[in-house]
């Protein structure tokens, strides 16, 4: 059996030839234009980034190395008797493009456990935060503190050839992924559970051990955690967390610093923080109505109140998707199978019915359908994680898998420093009038 690193090394040569061909022979071919509204409006659909890790179709949703979410759930290795794919297997797939065997997947689990010892100073940094600090603030600081272990930074300093960049980037990636669950679990236990930490159980898989360290040992929650950490991992390269990681990495900032930048982007309410906002919106509504499940009329009125006050309905809409997010549907299917009678699931299902209609009538959003963040909170609450301001940390642990796989490949293929051209509004007006 070859290791993930060996397999990756085999793939890099042919990919370098492909990128070289694209650059040297087809480099002048125009693939995208940019209008004034695109320049002002967040560069929607301007094709100017490259990633082979995942691709997002507006109607079909995300495909990881060509596999849809249902295919991923069916094809990737699981624990014996398990119903959901292992994130370790997804890492292998994202890195190499190949579905790993169970043996290859287990080799990643073992490697991650081997590298999991968190340096003491990282714990001290986390312990120094006041308890009212947001979990994402602690998480970003934890990742930055971990940076003292970066092999990429050391080897770059010592003088490393460009073709070798991917090697320490790969090593850093594995170390980060190995230690992130403990950083994240520590934040949870410190902030909400009186700093009563739980030691790792290395007989478990990566996600199972993460759930165990958080202190939610229900087997179904472990199963949910595997699914959760798979589906949130990547969403092609242009979303804020992936793009920020890539942008910072293009300056050859090491994987730790680049990931910290991406996670800071994930902490925005229009991006990953939407999962906490959904639960906050629902909890506020329940408190205001004094009921667990409001009537359809109450729910519809609450949606209109939110829209009329100029706020967004969290968990609905998307910059690219024009259909219900398959990541939402995967979680809905999980809920239908495991918690069909849960009152919060019933409320989330009512939102699924009513919110798209209200948003369509409101007439602004290009996509009235729910995204991944509309569902995750109700599953987590069911298994005992009610502290919704923590949810984006879980998203961040998962997102690290995708953005760091991209980081490794960007270094392997020598992708350049990002430096798009900005223009002034004077220039735009002159262009428009000329
Ligand atoms: N509620 C109310 N208004 C919405 C809306 C929503 N859920 N989604 C979009 N709109 C509005 C936009 O604010 C915009 O209004 P404006 O013209 O006054 O600025 C208009 O509809 C057009 O927006 P769009 O082109 O459909 O979407 P976008 O690409 O600009 O933004 C997104 C995409 C996700 C930021 C937006 O749909 C939104 O704010 N959704 C709620 C927050 C959310 O769920 N974010 C998570 C997304 C998934 C993720 O990254 N994890």
CATH topology of domain 275-382: Cytochrome p450-Terp; domain 2 (1.10.230)
Minimal-distance CA residue to ligand 1 atom 16: 364
Q: How confident is the model at residue 63, as a pLDDT?
A: 98
Q: Mutate which of 232, 268, 317 to test ligand 1's pocket (most atoms within 8 Å of Cβ)? A: 317
Q: Which of 318, 325, 375, 382 is catalytic?
A: 318
Model confidence over 69-97: pLDDT tens digits? 999 999 999 999 999 999 999 999 999 99
Asked whether 402 and 235 are in contact (CB, 8 A), the reply is yes
Minimal-distance CA residue to ligand 1 atom 25: 366
* Alpha carbon distance 430, 424 (integer Å): 10
Q: Does 177 have pLDDT greater than 70?
A: yes
Q: Which of 172, 254, 373, 382 is catalytic?
A: 373
Domain limits of the chain? 275-382
Q: Does 313 have pLDDT greater than 90?
A: yes
Q: Which token pair is 2?
A: 């070859």
Q: Is the CB of 364 under 6 A from ligand 1?
A: yes
Q: How confident is the model at residue 217 (pLDDT cuts 50, 70, 90)?
A: confident
Q: Does 213 have pLDDT greater than 70?
A: yes
In this structure, the chain runs to a length of 434
> What average pLDDT does this structure show over 174-198?
98
Q: Is 318 a catalytic residue?
A: yes
| Cα–ligand 1 centroid distance for 372 (angstroms) | 13
The position carrying tokens 């995204």 is 371
Q: Is the CB of 320 under 6 A from ligand 1?
A: no
* Alpha carbon distance 111, 174 (integer Å): 8
Q: How confident is the model at residue 2, as a pLDDT?
A: 73
Model confidence over 24-52: pLDDT tens digits? 999 999 999 999 999 999 999 999 999 99
| Cα–ligand 1 centroid distance for 323 (angstroms) | 14
Q: How confident is the model at residue 94, as a pLDDT?
A: 98
**DSSP for 92-144?**
HHHHHSSPPPHHHHHHHHHHHHHT-PPPHHHHHHHHTS-TTS-HHHHHHHHHH
Minimal-distance CA residue to ligand 1 atom 19: 364
φ/ψ of residue 61, rounded to 5: 85, -165
Q: How confident is the model at residue 1 (pLDDT cuts 50, 70, 90)?
A: low
* Alpha carbon distance 276, 282 (integer Å): 10
% the chain with pLDDT above 70: 100
Q: Is the CB of 272 under 6 A from ligand 1?
A: yes
Q: Which of 113, 212, 246, 271 is catalytic?
A: 271
Collapsing DSSP states into helix, strand and coil, what is residue 67? strand
| Cα–ligand 1 centroid distance for 318 (angstroms) | 6
Minimal-distance CA residue to ligand 1 atom 48: 271
Q: Which token pair is 341?
A: 């009678």
Q: How confident is the model at residue 149, as a pLDDT?
A: 98
Minimum-distance ligand 1 atom for the alpha carbon of 311: 2
Q: Which token pair is 7?
A: 């397999």
Which residues on neighbouring strands pair with residue 61, listed in sequence order? 57
| Cα–ligand 1 centroid distance for 262 (angstroms) | 20
Q: What mean pLDDT is reported for the chain?
A: 97
| Cα–ligand 1 centroid distance for 56 (angstroms) | 17
Q: Is 232 a catalytic residue?
A: no
Q: Does 434 have pLDDT greater than 90?
A: no
Minimal-distance CA residue to ligand 1 atom 31: 319
Q: How confident is the model at residue 395 (pLDDT cuts 50, 70, 90)?
A: very high
Q: Which of 50, 41, 39, 42 is nearest to 421 (CA)?
A: 39
Q: Is the CB of 288 under 6 A from ligand 1?
A: no
């Amino acid at each position: 059996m070859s290791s993930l690193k060996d397999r990756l090394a085999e793939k890099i040569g042919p990919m370098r030839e492909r990128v070289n061909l694209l650059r040297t022979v087809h480099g002048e071919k125009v693939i995208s234009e940019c209008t004034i509204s695109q320049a002002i409006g967040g560069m929607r659909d301007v094709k100017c980034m490259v990633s082979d890790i995942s691709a997002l179709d507006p109607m079909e949703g995300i495909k990881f190395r060509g596999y849809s979410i249902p295919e991923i759930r069916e094809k990737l290795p699981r624990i014996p008797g398990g119903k959901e794919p292992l994130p370790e297997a997804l890492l292998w797939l994202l890195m190499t493009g190949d579905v790993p065997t169970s043996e290859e997947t287990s080799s990643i689990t073992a490697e991650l456990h081997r590298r999991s010892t968190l340096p003491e100073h990282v714990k001290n940094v986390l312990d120094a935060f006041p308890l009212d600090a947001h979990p994402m603030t602690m998480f970003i600081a934890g990742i930055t503190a971990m940076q003292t272990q970066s092999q990429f930074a050391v080897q770059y300093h010592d003088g490393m050839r460009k073709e070798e960049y991917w090697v320490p980037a790969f090593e850093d990636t594995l170390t980060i992924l190995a230690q992130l669950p403990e950083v994240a679990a520590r934040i949870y236990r410190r902030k909400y559970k009186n700093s009563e930490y739980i030691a790792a159980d290395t007989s478990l898989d990566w996600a199972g051990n993460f759930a165990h360290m958080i202190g939610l040992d229900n087997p179904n929650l472990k199963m949910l955690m595997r699914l959760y950490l798979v589906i949130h991992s990547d969403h092609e390269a242009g979303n804020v967390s992936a793009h920020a990681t890539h942008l910072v990495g293009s300056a050859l900032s090491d994987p730790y610093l680049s990931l910290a930048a991406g996670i800071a982007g994930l902490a925005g309410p229009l991006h990953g923080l939407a999962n906490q906002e959904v639960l906050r919106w629902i909890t506020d509504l329940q408190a205001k109505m004094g009921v667990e499940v409001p009537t359809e009329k109450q729910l519809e009125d609450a949606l209109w109140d939110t829209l009329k006050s100029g706020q967004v309905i969290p968990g609905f809409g998307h910059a690219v998707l024009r259909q219900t997010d398959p990541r939402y549907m995967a979680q809905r299917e999980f809920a239908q199978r495991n918690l069909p009678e849960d009152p919060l699931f019933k409320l989330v299902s009512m939102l699924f019915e009513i919110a798209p209609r209200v948003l369509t009538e409101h007439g602004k959003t290009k996509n009235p359908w729910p995204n991944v963040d509309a569902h995750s909170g109700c599953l987590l609450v069911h298994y005992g994680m009610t502290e919704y301001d923590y949810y984006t940390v879980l998203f961040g642990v998962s997102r690290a898998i995708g953005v760091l796989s991209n980081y490794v490949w960007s270094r392997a293929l020598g992708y350049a420093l990002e430096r798009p051209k900005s223009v002034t509004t004077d220039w735009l007006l002159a262009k428009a009038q000329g």
